[in-house]
Structure formats: C-alpha cells, structure tokens
Amino acid sequence: MEKAPYQLKSRGCDGRVSHERLKDRELDERKPDIILTNATDNGRRNPAANIEITVTKPIGLLELLLSELTGRSRNNIKSLLTNREISVDGHIVTQYDYPLSKGQIVRIVRSVKRGEKPKDLLRILYEDKELIAVNKPAGLLSVSTDRENEKTVYHLLADYMRRSTPKGRPFVVHRLDRDTSGVLLFAKNERIQKALQDNWDSLVLQRCYAAAVEGHLKEKSGRIHSWLRQTSTLLVYSAKNAGDGLEAITDYQVIEESANYSLVNIQLETGRKNQIRVHMKELGNPVVGDKKYGAKTDPLKRLGLHAYKLELIHPFSDTRMCFEAEVPDDLKALFKR
C-alpha cells in the first residue's frame, strides 16, 4: 500500500472549495425533499399523500396554505413548514412569509409517521425525467438479494414511480453497501443507464464520503494507492505487489477529532468494493462499526460511513450535476464539544 502526502480539495456544489461544510452541513433548500415509505396502513400500502397547488396570484406562502388547507389549524400548517414538508417549484421552503408569484407550484408531501423505522424511508434529493437521486439510509439494501427482495431502495423507488407511470421503474447505475448511507443515483430509462455505466469513470467528477474512524490518523491528509484483491470468504485486502489486483486510490483529509474518533473527508479516485473500509483499516483506523475490517467500537450501531456528495457530467447534455446528502446527525454528534 502506497501513501503519499496529498492536499485534498473537495469542491462544493456551489463551486467553492470547502471542508467546513462537513462539520455542520445544512440540507440545501434548493433541492426537492420528499419522503417515501413502504409502511402500510390497515394492511394496505399507503401512498405518499402529496398535495399540489398552483399559485394564481401574488401571495405569501402561509396565507396561501391557510386558504387552501381549510381542514388544518394554523399551528399544523406552520409545522409543515418547520418540518420541511413544503416545496415551491421543487425547492424546500420553511419561511412563513415566503413571497409567491402567479404560476408557481407549491407541493405538500406526507410527513414521516410515528413508528416507521429510518431504514424504511428514502429522501429524494433530485428528480427529473431521466434521473432520480436519493439519500439512502444505513441498513437498507440498494438492490435485491436472494434473501431480501422487498425492502430495498430499488423496490421503494419502483413503487413510487409506478404511482405516476404504471410501467415506470428505476435502472441501477451504481450501488452503496447496505450499511453505508448517502447519495445513490438511479436512471429512469435503459438508454441513460447504459450511457452512465459505460462511461462512469470519465463522467464522475467527485465521489465524497464522510467517515467516522477509530483513533487519530498519524498523517492528517494523504493519498492511499493500492491494488485490491478478494479472498474466498469475500474479504477485500491490498495486495503486496503493485498491479496484482484492481487499482484503488483514496484521498483523505481529517476534518475533526474527538477523544476517540476522527471525522475524515474522503474522495475516491476509484470506486472498488469496500475500498474505503479496507484503506482505513490498513491505515490503522477502521471505520467505526466495521467489525468485518477490524473495528473494535460501534458507537453508532451502524457503519460510520456516509456518501455525502456525487458530482458528474450528464452523458447527453454535458451538464454538470451535483447531488448532496446531509451528514447524519448521529455521525456528527460524535464530534460535538
């Protein structure tokens, strides 16, 4: 395994270089924010009860909601705004007196119900006619396996898409491990799926992760360059000789430290199976909760790894697209002073 001094530069979606956004990342109010669930009511699947209002004249947002949602109290409507359940033209708005113009679209999305488990929920970060990006929770599979074919991101998205398009379904572009949370992108048709998969390495500009790891890294930033192989028991490791396996490159920078853990900003040059987990283990700082790769602690009761940003070039329009998912509160809480 090769390590070399390297100054990681993580360019934010707004075009500015920033590492501080990892510490107290706020959800970007410019992004659609929709909650899906596979929970049922009285044995029946409960579709998202979305409401859409077309603005017919200049008016304040709260005033519009009070006039349209006659069955709700003022406090109930305010809670919709507070809980980020109101969007205007696809952008989440929490401001009561937000000014609206004629022709704008206001949407209300169903709130999370009590008793639903976080891993049963998806939050849509972006959606258009060809692509849909979600914030995958830890514990939820990306796609089906022999043991699980219902509670997956793919299944939930397929159910969601068929509500508006009976034959609609998502097409897998890439995957995240079950216990890794964060940005996961799907295509809506086979044409763009193939274009993305066939040109993934050249189209992807940034894949950024936040990792909570055990202990303190000796070098606070660097590049790890190795060749990964896999044992018969599916354990991935770095080969001793260069070229003996799949090339894997991980850039990292320590963002913050607590007494026992480090918050690390990671940027992938390659996207191999278990790459981050293997490289952190081989530095002597395994990802928290990663018993498979040597972790001795599990403070989050899950893997401390979150894919917070995916930036790529659209294969047909050449548009630069950037999807971001807030670093989970439990992960950030490990570093609160």
Window from 6-15, 51-60, 296-305 with minimum mean pLDDT: 6-15
Distance, CA of 170 to CA of 185 (rounded, Å): 10
262 and 219 Cβ atoms separated by less than 8 Å: no
- Does any domain span residue 234? yes
* 115 token code pair: 């008793």
- Does any domain span residue 75? no
What total of structural domains would you count in the chain?
1
33-48 tens-digit pLDDT: 333 443 333 333 333 3
- Does any domain span residue 289? yes
- 229 by DSSP, 3-state: which? strand
Distance, CA of 205 to CA of 105 (rounded, Å): 32
Distance, CA of 122 to CA of 135 (rounded, Å): 6
Range of the domain at 296: 2-50+109-333
- Does any domain span residue 74? no
- Does any domain span residue 95? no
281 and 117 Cβ atoms separated by less than 8 Å: no
**Element counts in the chain: helices (H) and strands (E):** 7, 21
Distance, CA of 267 to CA of 210 (rounded, Å): 9
Residue showing tokens 């979150």:
306
What global pTM score does this model have?
0.69
- Mean pLDDT, range 149-159, rounded to an integer: 79
CATH assignment at residue 228: 3.30.2350.10
- Does any domain span residue 17? yes
- Does any domain span residue 169? yes
The residues that are catalytic are: 177
* CA 219 to the chain's CA centroid: 28
pLDDT at 187 over 90: yes
Angle (nearest 5°) at CA 300 between 33 and 325: 25
